[in-house]
Every structure is written in C-alpha cells, then in structure tokens.
Structure 1
Amino acid sequence: MDILLEGGSVLRERDYTLIIDSSNSMATMEKSEGKSRWELIQESILAIASYCEQIDPDGITLYLFSDTFQRYDKVTSEKVIHIFQHHQPSGKNCLSPVLKDATNHYFERRATEQTKLNGETIIIITSGEIESPTDLRQIIIDSANQLNRDEELAIELIQVGSNLDVTHFFQTLDDDLQSQGAKFDICNTITLSDLGSMSLTDVLLKAIVD
C-alpha cells in the first residue's frame, strides 16, 4: 500500500492510543504563555481525542502517567476531558513502563487478531524529561523489530516545553532509529507549537509516513 497515494484512508481502520504526561514537570509555567504546561495541553488533547474518535469510533486507549500509570480503554473525547480534569501533575516522568504496556497491548491484540487492518498509532504528549531514556529507546527499537511493515505501528512524540536536551533526544529517535538497530523507523516528533500550525490529519499522517 502506498500511503502517500492513499492519503487519509490509512488513518482509518486503525487504533489510536493517547499517552499523557501527568508528571510534576507538566506543572512548569511557560513564561511566554503565562500558563502551566498542564493548562497548555488541554485544548490540544481535546482536539486530538475528538479527531481520533471520528476515525476510531469504538474509542481510543488513554494513559496518564508519572511514577505509575493508569490505562483507560474505549474512551470517548467527553470522557478524556473528565479524566483530565480530575488529575493534577505530580511525580516523576516514567515514560518507559507506560510505553512498554502500550506496545505489549498492541502485540497481544495482534496475536489474537484483534488489531485493525492498518495497525495502530501511539501519540505521546510529554515534557520529555524522562527518567530512563535508554530504556525508552530500547522499547521502541524492540517494538519496531516485531513489525511486519513499517506503517503498522507509529509513535508520535509531541514535546511540551523547549528543553533542548529533550529536543535532541527525540530527534535521534525520529532520524536515527534504524542506525541504532531498529528494523523500521516508527517515530516522529513535533512540538506543541508545531501542533498548533498543522492540521490533525497532517499530524497523524506524518507519524506514519514521516
């Protein structure tokens, strides 16, 4: 299948997982905006959840994570806002365990033929100030090496804030994954400000096509 020719059709018959950073770093105030990161992501989260709900009508999978994580299955956009409003940032950014759970969840469903034709997209909204970046990289590489085709599983990293070390790390995941041992390049990264200037169709397609 030529995704570039198929256009938006590759976004359908696909599952969507949204992973939201609720660690203490999300309470950081962004001086240029006069709001905390947690406040800044609310509108984007609703927009993404609403869009994914349109193309994945049986509901998305939602995670909130910090030191631990919580998974919610078959979530509607209305429920996303309810969940979001009942949490406040706290704890450390432990992204590796939640991403491992999300990828395991995909491969377990694939093994029992419960996945959709076009695969899955995992969208991560995070400050990126991660406790174990080496573990995170390995989880992504291991996931890529279990795939049958490169568009089967896409991971979109959306960076909140402007930490340059985080930007560089995410860029290595975006650009250099195969040179680090991955079978396919399954990562794409953008910033929250990029998200504001792109259509959500383009954001999700870029995760797959890159």
Structure 2
Amino acid sequence: MDILLEGGSVLRERDYTLIIDSSNSMATLEQSEGKSRWELLQESILAIASYCEQFDPDGITLYLFSDQFQRYEKVTSDKVIYIFEQHQPSGTNRLSPVLKDATDNYFGRRATEQAKANGETIIIVTSGEIENPTALRQIMIDAANQLNRDEELAIELIQVGSNSDVTEFFHILDDDLQSQGAKFDICNTITLSDLGAMSLMDVLLKAIVD
C-alpha cells in the first residue's frame, strides 16, 4: 500500500510528538516475556519514531516523563535509543504536566504560523497509572476546544500492561470526551499488544480518524 496515495496524505505536513512514560511502573517485569516494560518498549518506540520520521523529516519531539519531564526537539530515529539509554525508570507517573506542555507548544506554534498545515499527532506510551486523571481529562477537553477542525490535533494513548482500571479510564477518554464538554473527539487508545498486530500506518491513521 502506498502510504502517500492511499489515505496516507493526512499523515503528511504534520508534526509528531512522542511522550514516553519513564516512571517506576515501567520497570515492572512482564512475566510472559521475561523482560521489563522498559526493555519491551524500546523496540516499539524505535519503530514508531522511524515511521513518523518519514512524514516529519526535520525530526520529532520526544518527551520522557515521571515526576518531571524532559523534552527533546528535532529527534531523529538514530538518537532514540541513545536517549533511552540515558534513562532508567523511576518516580511517579505525572502525565498531566507533560501533556499540557505538548499541547501548549502546539498552540503556540500555531499562533505564530510555525505549525504544519495538517496539525500534530501526539503519541503517549504509558502504563497509565496516572497521578491525576481528572486533570489529564481536562487538558484534553481544553485542547479539543481550541481546535479549528477535528483532525488538527490527534492524541493516541498506547497502554503498556493490563491494568483494568487504566483500560477503563482510557476508554472513557476515547469514547466519551465529547459528552464531557469537548468540541471534538481527539483521543484514541490502543494497547501495546494491539500495536504489534497493526501496521504503523493504521496506528497513525486511527489516531487522526478514529
């Protein structure tokens, strides 16, 4: 399938941001694989970053977060593993501040006409054991209400692990954001297992046209 001719054009002229959970929960050993979540994640993140680079050749934005967050600008795929090697999981999952920074960054670039024509996709990979889920939901609603069109900003939540409470909360963000006051449905959620069964093009398209 030609990603640019058969539905892939919406992926072009778009910025891509990856937000990666580096909290202590990512050190959890997945018994079935014999590896930690952090180890299992690296291959998937490299694949996503390499794929996004096709559409965002000047480099993606990469965040790692736990109690605090670090933002890396214009990251090319060859730098992703190096950045991972500089971090080990620690601290708590404070996703709200990093998502607020990422959405504020997008709207700031849009206001100064630095954003790309098709908008931005934010991909969040997390265990989902979030410190303040109410704040996270409100950040998504506030972002949705600043958009000019549905596809302008897409947020893809990829759940690592199988915590049922997290799955339920993510489904609420995916399915019920508009009923809670959002102008558009900007959130889609999948699991890391789903990621292994889907093409990366489908992952990115599903985030935009859920």
Task: Tell me if both proteins adopt one fold, taking TM over 0.5 as the criterion.
Answer: yes
Equivalent residue for 1:209?
Answer: 209
Equivalent residue for 1:181?
Answer: 181
Q: CA deviation at 1:32?
A: 1.4
Equivalent residue for 1:8?
Answer: 8
> SS of the residue aligned with 1:13?
coil
> Match of 1:99, as an amino acid?
L
> SS of the residue aligned with 1:206?
helix
> Match of 2:23, as an amino acid?
S
Question: For residues 43 and 72 of structure 1, what CA distance do their matches in structure 2 show?
Answer: 19
The CA deviation string for residues 127-186 of structure 1, in whole angstroms up to 9 with x for no partner, is 000000000000000000000000000000000000000000000000000001000000
> SS of the residue aligned with 2:161?
coil
Equivalent residue for 2:74?
Answer: 74
Kindly, what percent of the aligned residue pairs are identical? 86
Q: CA deviation at 1:61?
A: 0.3
Unaligned runs of 5+ in 1: none
> SS of the residue aligned with 1:151?
helix
> Match of 2:175, as an amino acid?
D
Question: For residues 74 and 88 of structure 1, what CA distance do their matches in structure 2 show?
Answer: 22
What is the number of equivalent residue pairs in this alignment? Answer: 206
Equivalent residue for 1:157?
Answer: 157
Within-5 A mapping of 1:104-183 = 104-183=104-183
CA RMSD of aligned residues (A): 0.9
> Match of 1:100, as an amino acid?
K
Unaligned runs of 5+ in 2: none
Runs of 4+ in 1 over 6 A off after TM superposition: none
Equivalent residue for 1:46?
Answer: 46
TM-score under structure 2 normalisation?
A: 0.97
Q: CA deviation at 1:80?
A: 1.1
TM-score under structure 1 normalisation?
A: 0.97
Question: For residues 204 and 54 of structure 1, what CA distance do their matches in structure 2 show?
Answer: 12
Q: CA deviation at 1:6?
A: 6.5
1:98/1:137 CA distance change after superposition, 3 Å: same
